[in-house]
Amino acid sequence: MSKRIPWEADILEVLINEEQIRAKTAEIAHQISQDYEGKEVILVGVMVGAVVFLADLMRAMEIPVSVDFVAISSYGKDTRSSGVVRILKDLDMNIESKHVIIVEDIVDTGLTLKYLVDNLSARSPATLRVCALLDKPSRRKVPVTIHYVGFTVPDKFVVGYGLDFDQRYRNLPFVGVLRPEIYAG
Ligand code: 5GP
């Protein structure tokens, strides 16, 4: 566990450690490589939270991949979803007739993912699937299919490995629960 970052005061508990993330990422990358053998995929990372996972996932994959990003309006300092979703940065690539996998950090209410899936489906990709490092099913508001899931997490606000609170903690190498007093202000 990283001692370079003084995280102990802000993190209540480490939920998923570096080794667990590494092993699961390799497992998912291998599964995707098998499922798409002989094909080429475009990984669509949802900024900014998914970039750490995406960077590790793509390097563990055994098939040709290209990468693009979308940015979606985020919570800012609010830790609960407003339900309002909009695209801040669209794809650079044309995904028509391509095999596309959306890479998310966490699926919570599902509103962001539902919006993205609907939006990208309308561009006629050959196939469209979803890969999420974390799934928080207890808070789901709309049903969404996640084809590749890393870990299911409880209804707690988590940070690290790409996930932030107010843009901080993304560089923690593990996923941990943020002390409620930090976001309670
Ligand atoms: P949804 O639209 O599914 O409610 O929210 C998805 C987005 O909400 C994620 O991509 C992430 O940015 C944010 N989010 C949801 N739950 C958490 C959490 O526990 N921690 C952090 N840092 N972000 C979260």
Per-position pLDDT tens, the chain of length 185: 556 677 878 999 999 999 999 999 999 999 999 999 999 999 999 999 999 999 999 999 999 999 999 999 855 445 455 566 789 999 999 999 999 999 999 999 999 999 999 999 999 999 999 999 999 999 999 999 999 999 999 999 999 999 999 999 999 999 999 998 988 86
Beta partners for residue 175, in sequence order: 16
In a domain, 87, yes or no: yes
What is the number of structural domains in the chain? 1
- Cite the DSSP H helix spans in the chain: 18-35, 51-60, 111-121, 180-183
In a domain, 32, yes or no: yes
8 A C-beta contact, residue 24 and residue 56: no
Q: Domain containing 71: what range?
A: 18-155
Classify residue 77 as exposed, middle or buried by CB count within 10 Å of its CB (0-12, 13-18, 19+): exposed
Q: Report the C-alpha gap between 176 and 157 in whole angstroms.
A: 8
**3-class DSSP state for residue 126?**
coil
Ligand 1 pocket: which of 12, 44, 88, 106 to mutate (most atoms within 8 A of CB):
106
Q: Report the C-alpha gap between 139 and 5 in whole angstroms.
A: 30
Q: Is the CB of 108 under 6 A from ligand 1?
A: yes
Q: Is 78 a catalytic residue?
A: no
The domain that contains 28 carries what CATH number? 3.40.50.2020
Output the CA 107–ligand 1 centroid distance in Å: 6
- Cite the DSSP H helix spans in 81-185: 111-121, 180-183
In a domain, 72, yes or no: yes
The whole-number pLDDT of residue 74 equals: 56
Q: Phi first, then psi: what are they for 93, rounded to 5°? A: -90, 155
Q: Is the CB of 158 under 6 A from ligand 1?
A: yes
In a domain, 164, yes or no: no
8 A C-beta contact, residue 121 and residue 96: no
- Measured CA to CA in angstroms, residue 40 lies from 31, 142, 153 at distances of 14, 30, 31
Q: Is the CB of 144 under 6 A from ligand 1?
A: no
The whole-number pLDDT of residue 163 equals: 97
Query: pTM for this structure?
Result: 0.93
Beta partners for residue 172, in sequence order: none
- Indicate which residue of 56, 105, 108, 164 is catalytic: 108
